[in-house]
Each structure stands twice: as structure tokens, then as C-alpha cells.
Amino acid sequence: MAKNKKTKFITKDILKSSIIGSFQKLDPRYMIKNPVMFVVEIGCFITLLLTFVPTLFGGSEQYRIYNGIVTIILFVTVLFANFAESVAEGRGKAQAASLKKTKQDTKARKLLPDGTEQIINASELKKGDLVLVKAGELIPNDGEVIEGIASVDESAITGESAPVTREAGGDFSSVTGGTTVVSDWLKIKIVAEPGKSFLDKMISMVEGASRQKTPNEIALNTLLIVLTLIFLIVVVTLYPFASYLGVKIPISWAIALMVCLIPTTIGGLLSAIGIAGMDRVTRFNVIAMSGKAVEACGDVDTMILDKTGTITYGNRLAAEFYPVKGVEKEDLIDYSVMCSIMDTTPEGKSTVDLGKQMGCVLDERIADQMQFVEFTAQSKMSGVNLQDGTVVRKGAFEAMKIFVKEKGGNIPEDLQEIVTNISNLGGTPLVVCVNEKILGVIYLKDTVKPGLSERFERLREIGIKTIMCTGDNPLTAATIAKEAGVDGFIAECRPEDKITAIKKEQAEGKLVAMTGDGTNDAPALAQADVGLAMNSGTQAAKEAANMVDLDSDPTKILEVVEIGKQLLITRGSLTTFSIANDIAKYFAIIPAMFTMVLPQMQILNIMHLATPASAILSALIFNAIIIPGLIPVAMKGVKYKPMKAEKMLLRNMGIFGLGGIIVPFVGIKLIDLLVAPLLALIGM
């Protein structure tokens, strides 16, 4: 199971860099990217002018101190919003710093066309260059192993201390720059230009430098701008309306009113939520190539999963011995162990282990007296030849039938039934024979990973359909699918079948996620809305996907989807809370402002705030302190619980909608109790 990296919410270094960043982001050229907070900054500048020139815009000298207080609160509001974003970026930069330690300007052994070596800086390597990396040396850049086999320490990237094997060909030929060869040697073909390696992309994404706003984030940002414009118009039109009623509203009041009514809470936290969402994925050892990929995870409707290595362990292990009629089980066990003693595959080792558990006492030294016959794709069997001419074989049912018939033997009547029963159980039958006589069948079982059934049920609860892809026959596939608890399966699946399945789901308007590690998975990973490639996989797979799992754990797609859901829920919840806040602040300020002229509005002053001045100031102070109060929620995310969308909506409306109304009422009233006496002292 993947590990989530537990780190402190905020360290001294992050706090220091966040405070500095908060002031640096006050630059209007940066602030204009966040229109809501930009409006607050403009308001702060206007009240600052009114503090020094209170008679400006027809103001009064008596409001000089009040204008100064409003200026300070607005400044702190902007600062807190910048602080939230800086904290999110700081957590990412702290992680990027550890990645940069692995990025050194190392030396590389470049292989020239004439076969000689040239020692150059790794930064000088170009795509297509060949390099030789020996034990103890760093791999200079991303590449594909074209010759050799070696153990590679990837702990600098993945955090895992155990070295992994990398070799030419297959799905384990991809190597990452910054990792270390710990044994033997590798000849590598460089596949990335300088500055564009996987590690460079990781650092850039973690730092937030390449983070683009997602479609949902852009849509929400547009909504916030529209709401800001609406409330700006409301406040502007409120001015002549108040003058008609004989109420003179100071400029600082109008600015404070507007700041309290526009969605400053979510405006100040929106960017931080997006950065923190990517940060949570990164701390889970998954690198997202864009914020859009993380968000897409939250909208996934269908998940396509490989059986081997994802749903099952992939190692078929011996689970039982089934003799045919007329054969003693002990004889079947003895001969099964005998032809497996020299078999180093997981199947062979597990057969020997199971045989010993069942009482087989065969002396392993007899291996010296036998000739081992390895399994081949053509023969589909393996075994041993004894010195006395005896031939012992184990292999696939059809291949063994042909082998026995060629030797003049007969097929036992109950063999077909045993094989069918094992296949129906989702297992693999290995038929065992001695010369022309079939003794029985070894039942190899591909075990479903524990806990997957419950996790698939969780996905089902939130409306995500799971489809298993496998090369097994339909009977075996159906058995595994039932045991694992997936919603559907594709048996005898080829790479093109995965693409067909993805396109079919997408044609129905669904978002599809899938995992893969091989070159043959690359087209499907590119077609899927969320493609999670394994870091141990090929370069083609990693380039086609929009997320890479550094731990190479295919089941991690389940957690990644939940993180995506959490991101969307967090953004939705805090937006609900922010808008509910505005409603509460409206009821706090408007009645208090007009009570002196329209006593009838006193009935709406349900909080019984002392004066219009204290009401506005209290709401403004609450508006400022609620932003840092919600930073932990934005960083950690709203706790995610699998449930139907309708139930989730009602739950969040109850917690964040109702809470967003109640909290301001209580908070503003408490602040008013403190502020009113202080304002009375300065004659306000």
C-alpha cells in the first residue's frame, strides 16, 4: 500500500518564507491576477488616502482614526490572503528543495560512435546520446536501458530504500536522472533534453511554477468576479439611496461594506486550495503533470484496471494438488515437487513449499542427478529428465494432452472436470505426468489483494464504475472479477481493447481513469482522462500519462481519485461557507447602518450591534480573521467520505452552509462587544 508522507503543517522555514511572500505578493501586478483581493487592495489604498486627507471626497475630519483602523484591517485581509497562498507554495518549495539535492551537475561517460568514452558534464548531454553508468555512479538524465542489467537505488526520487532492477527490453528499462546504479553497469540512451527531464518537471510542478488554473477553478474565479461586480454596483447605488434617506455614508464605510459583501474568503483561499491539492498528491508520491489532471480525478466516472499486479498479486502460487482417479495424492505431490526443485519461478518455488507442507520429504540433492527442462512459450511445459530415462513434466492442459498422446498414453476421464473446476475458481491448472501417465493437476492461484473488495465498494458508493482488464479466459476472468468485487471485466484483453473500452465510456460522457506501465499501455493512457503511469514502466508510458506514480503501485489510482474528490469537495465547501458568510454579514451591517433613519429596520438588527460604526468594523475584522482561520482546512482538505453526490451535497450544505451563517453571527457579535467600547473612547 502506498504511504502518505506525514509532514508538519507549517515549519519555521515555511512560516518565514510565507511571511516574506505575503508582502512580495502585494505588488498590484501580481494582485490583479486575483480580482477579488485586488479590489480589497484598492479599497485599502483609498482608505489610506482618507486617513491622511480625511476631507477628500467630501469626508469628515472626525473619521480620520476610523479610516486608519479600516486601512489596517483591509491591509491585514490582503496580507492573510497572500499568506494562505504562500503557505501552500512554501510546502511545495520545501519538497522541491529535497528533490533539487538529487539534481547535481554530475559527470557522464558519453559513448562515442567509435566506441570510446568521453567524460562530460551531464548538462551537456543531448537526446539520443549513449552513456555508460557503472556501479556507484549517478544516472545523468532520463533514459532507456539498451544494454546490461543492474540494481538501481531510486530512494532519492521515491523514498524507497530497496533498490530495483533495471534491464534492457521489457517494461522495466526506463531510468530516471538523479538515481544511482548500485551494482553492475547499464548502457543508457538519453531520452530527455537538458532541463526537461522527469526530475526537472517534478521540481517545476512541486514548486507551483507550472501550475495552471483548472477549468473548474477558472469557472469559479469568473463567478467570484461577477459577484464582486454585482456588489460593487450595489454599494455604488446604495450611496444615492442613502443620501435620499438623509443618511451620510462615509467612504470608508462604503468600502468596508463592499469588502464584507464580496466573496473575499474563497477569493483569498482559492489559489491555495488548488496548490494544496497538487501538494497532497505529490506527498502521496504521485507527480501530476498538471492541476487539471488532479481535478479530473475528482470527476472520474469509470476506472479501468489491469488484473495482474493491480487487483491480484500477479504471482501464481500453488494452492492444492488434485490427483486423477487411481493415483495416490502422495505420488502426485512427490513428482510435482521433483519437477519443480530446479524451477526458480514463483510457481515452481511455491509448488516445492506446498509439497513440503504436505509431508513430501524429497531430498533436494537429487537435483544433481536430473536434467532440468525449462519452460518455453512453444512447449508450454517444464520438468526434469531422470538418469534412468524417466520423464516428468508439468504444463498447460492442451500441451500436456498432446505430449502424453504422442507417448502413447491415455487421458484420464476426470482430468477435464478437474481442469474446468480449477479454471472456474479463477486458478491456473498445471497438469503433471510421468512418461505417458497423467498423475493429476497442480492448482495455481492468483490471489486477489486483501481489502480491494471493500475499496471497490467505496468507489461504487460515489458512483464510480470499475472495469477489470485481463488476458485470462472468460471463466477465470469472471471468477476473479466476482472475488474482487469489480463491476465488469474484459477477458482476453488486448491493448486495443483497452482503448475501445475507454472510448466507449467517453462516448457516454464519462471521465475515465486507468493505470499502465508498458509501451503497449501508452495509447490507452493517452486516451484516458486520467492516466497513471508507473515510474518503473517505460518512457513511452510515462510520457503518455498525465500522472506518474513514483512507488509504481497500480492500486494507488484508487487513492488518487479520492484525493481529486477531496480537492473538489474542499473548494465547493469553502465556496459555500464564503457565500453563507456574506449573507450573515449583510444582515449584520445593512440594518445597523440604516437603523438611525429607519427605526423599522431595527427588527432586522437581530444581533443588536451597538452602532453602525462598530457593526461595520466588527464585520470587517471578522472578514479578515476568518481567512487564516480556514487556511488549515484549505491545506489539509475537507475530510472525504464516500457517499452519493446528493447526500454529499446535503452534508456540506448542512456543515458549511449553515455553519457559514451561524459562525459570522456569533463572531461578529463577540467582536462588537470588544470594539464598541473602544470606538466610544475615540468618539465614534
Look up the CATH number of the domain holding residue 144.
2.70.150.10
Q: What is the CATH number of the domain that holds 380?
A: 3.40.1110.10
- Upper half-sphere CA count for residue 439 (Cβ side, 13 Å): 23
Same structural domain for residues 500 and 578? no
Contact 206, 285 (CB under 8 A): no
Cell of 352: 516445492
Q: Which domain range does residue 454 map to?
A: 286-311+449-550
Residues 172-214 have pLDDT tens digits of 778 878 788 888 889 998 888 776 666 666 666 555 544 556 6
Same structural domain for residues 78 and 211? yes
Looking at 193, 221, 250, which one is the last position of a domain?
Answer: 193
* Whole-number Å distance between alpha carbons of 267 and 478: 50
**In total, how many domains does the chain have?**
4
Nearest Cα to 177, choosing from 130, 140, 205, 131?
Answer: 140
Contact 180, 166 (CB under 8 A): no
Same structural domain for residues 583 and 529? no
Looking at 396, 415, 447, which one is the last position of a domain?
Answer: 447
Nearest Cα to 481, choosing from 439, 446, 506?
Answer: 446
In the annotated binding site, the residues are: 343, 347, 375-382, 394, 517, 521
Contact 643, 651 (CB under 8 A): yes
Q: Has residue 404 been placed in a domain?
A: yes
Q: Has residue 135 been placed in a domain?
A: yes
Same structural domain for residues 185 and 40? no
Q: Has residue 4 been placed in a domain?
A: no
Same structural domain for residues 318 and 441? yes
Same structural domain for residues 54 and 137? no
HEC secondary structure over 175-229: ECCCCEECCCEEEEEECCCCCCCHHHHHHHHHHCCCCCCCHHHHHHHHHHHHHHH
Residues 230-273 have pLDDT tens digits of 888 888 887 787 777 777 778 888 888 888 888 888 888 887 78
Q: Of the listed 306, 549, 551, 582, which one is catalytic?
A: 306
Cell of 473: 479466459
Same structural domain for residues 572 and 516? no
Same structural domain for residues 228 and 292? no
In one letter, which amino acid is 330? E
3-class DSSP assignment, residue 373? strand
> Residue 414's pLDDT is what?
92
Same structural domain for residues 504 and 479? yes
In the annotated binding site for Mg(2+), the residues are: 517, 521
**End-to-end CA, the chain:** 62
> Residue 41's pLDDT is what?
93
Neighbouring C-beta atoms of residue 361, cutoff 10 Å = 8
> Residue 200's pLDDT is what?
67
Contact 277, 507 (CB under 8 A): no
DSSP 658: H
List residues bridging with 532 in a β-sheet: 515, 547
Full DSSP string of 35-78? HHHHHHHHHHHHHHHHHH-TTGGG--GGGHHHHHHHHHHHHHHH
Same structural domain for residues 497 and 534? yes
Q: What is the CATH number of the domain that holds 292?
A: 3.40.50.1000
> Residue 3's pLDDT is what?
46
In the annotated binding site for ATP, the residues are: 343, 347, 375-382, 394
Residues 6+ apart with CB under 8 A from 582: 260, 261, 262, 263
Looking at 401, 428, 447, which one is the last position of a domain?
Answer: 447
Q: Has residue 102 been placed in a domain?
A: no
Q: Has residue 19 been placed in a domain?
A: no
Which residues in the chain come in under a pLDDT of 70?
A: 1-11, 57-59, 88, 90-105, 155-162, 170-171, 195-214, 290-291, 309, 314-315, 364, 426, 518-519, 536, 538, 593-598, 642-643, 645, 683-684
Residue 620: C-alpha distances to residues 232, 247, 253, 559, 616 (Å)? 16, 21, 10, 40, 6
Catalytic residue at 184? no
Q: Has residue 57 been placed in a domain?
A: yes
Q: Has residue 527 been placed in a domain?
A: yes
Kind and range of the H or E element at 408?
Answer: none
Q: Has residue 301 been placed in a domain?
A: yes
Same structural domain for residues 89 and 218? yes
List residues bridging with 107 in a β-sheet: 121
Same structural domain for residues 342 and 443? yes
Residues 6+ apart with CB under 8 A from 546: 288, 289, 290, 292, 293, 296, 530, 531
> Residue 331's pLDDT is what?
92
